[in-house]
Homo-oligomer: A and B are copies of this chain.
């Protein structure tokens, strides 16, 4: 995985997942997060992911998708559903999910 998602020409879709972690269980969280990243990458319509998390417990993960159908299918994927459940039960104190259609993008490199 490169650090930026190698997305195609717009339009495509973004799922902006902003989360606040509870303290503790970093190992279980990290391994499940890595597994979900791998699993997402194998789903139909997946275009890439970008993720950043700071010391303050706030994380932002943006995944990119071909269309709304591929987002709905990923949301309902069985292992992902189990991870979402565990996220609410153990790892997160709050989160936001926003589904957005990317209309324009700009890439800049030095």
Seen from chain A, the residues whose Cβ lies within 8 Å of a Cβ on chain B are 3-5, 7, 10, 14, 16, 18, 20, 22, 50-54, 56, 58-60, 62, 88, 92-110
Given contacts A4-B20, A5-B96, 12 further A-B contacts (CB under 8 A): A3-B56, A16-B102, A50-B96, A51-B58, A52-B53, A52-B59, A53-B54, A54-B54, A88-B108, A93-B110, A99-B102, A99-B103
> Within the assembled complex, what's the spacing in Å between the Cα atoms of A62 and B10?
18
Knowing A18-B62, A88-B110, the reply to whether A98 touches B93 (Cβ < 8 A) is: no
Q: Which residues of B contact A94 (CB under 8 A)?
A: 4, 107-110
- On whether A18 and B96 interact (CB within 8 A), knowing A62-B60, A101-B101, A101-B103, the answer reads no
CA separation between A58 and B69, bound complex, in Å? 29
